[in-house]
A and B are shown apart, each in its own frame.
Chain A
């Protein structure tokens, strides 16, 4: 049962969830559900081997056979946990090194702002904005952003980045990246990864819209996604995320009913493998 659950949670469920665009209307609840699916799949996979134990232990086998079965079951679980921890450590370390290196460079080459100690302005005409999460956080914008946006739109961009930093969205992305890199390629789901990324952006867009209003936020998105000199500008590709994010902002705030349904679904997902383990041993 647990094996089946792990497979279902790892394969078809994310695929379906990635397609359910209703979920995008309630990004916070949806992200919670994504974490629930992921955690639940991991618990099911890790618990599968030990849960088989009660089935084989009471079959009247010799004692040494019990021992071998238990070792194999425990070993499988340990290997899975070990792989996750190792990937987590490796990816986390790599990200921190990259961020530190980038922060030190930006601190030297970019202009500092007298009002916001964490803001850095790169002297470059191409509009771009990003943030460096972590202990020494930075928000980086290019001169191009300052020139292309009015004050309200600039507030939208800065609020968006600050929302990422405040809510530690980087940890969320890191968690999903670790899982994404650890699971076998067969069950890896790029659609799920990009959906999670979109939800995180939608969440930060909402925070921006609360501060600067929906029109200013959508225009800021439009300008930054355009991100090019006027003479080179062409139609934004239909597959791009900026149009989706703009549409989401215009769709308005989440329906409380939808959020409740999604949260309940997430809770059920978390309860499922735990219940099955209890059943197997009970």
Chain B
């Protein structure tokens, strides 16, 4: 039904794989990974070129999902947010969008047609779960502008 290519590793799949490696490494290596180190994570899994990893990291930086820091002659890449934080942000944003006519139509929410009260309740429930859940300790340099070079 959905046109999703499964044979060739698409850029989207690689982006996900790279993010997963960065998230995994973030706890032990909060300073981030270099392109070479990210490439090493893939060894034995799949054949990828150094330049491909660079391209993928560049795209992720443009999407403000990773930030990079100068380390000598190399760049170190680190995730801007934990996966949990990004997931919560995404959930909240889909609900915020329900206040705006055309943004609301971009996603077709199961609750579409919900009253404002219901949406408010929903957001409150979301916030409550957020506060109850202990934050994962991960250094999170706030990077809003896509592609901006981090100075931290």
Residues of chain A touching chain B, judged by Cβ–Cβ distance below 8 Å, are 91, 94-95, 98-99, 102, 104-110, 117-118, 122-126, 128-133, 135-138, 142, 157, 160-161, 164, 169-170, 173-174, 177, 180-181, 193-194, 197-198, 200-201, 224-225, 227-229, 232, 234, 236-237, 239-242, 245
Contacts and interface: CB of A to CB of B under 8 A. Distances in A.
Given A126-B126, A232-B124, A236-B118, A136 B3 contact: yes
Interface string B76-120: 000000011011101100110000011101111111111101100
Interface stretch (B12-20, B37-45, B46-54): B12-20
A107 B19 CA distance: 11
B125 interface: yes
Interface of B: 1-4, 6, 12, 15-16, 19, 63, 65, 83-84, 86-88, 90-91, 94-95, 101-103, 105-115, 117-118, 121-122, 124-126, 128-129
Given A104-B15, A224-B110, 12 more contacts: A99-B107, A102-B106, A107-B15, A118-B4, A126-B122, A132-B108, A194-B113, A200-B112, A227-B125, A229-B125, A237-B117, A237-B118
Contacts of A124: 87-88, 91, 129
A166 B124 CA distance: 32
A130 B94 contact: yes
Contacts, number: 155
Main secondary structure of the interface of A (DSSP, over half): helix
B4 A136 contact: yes
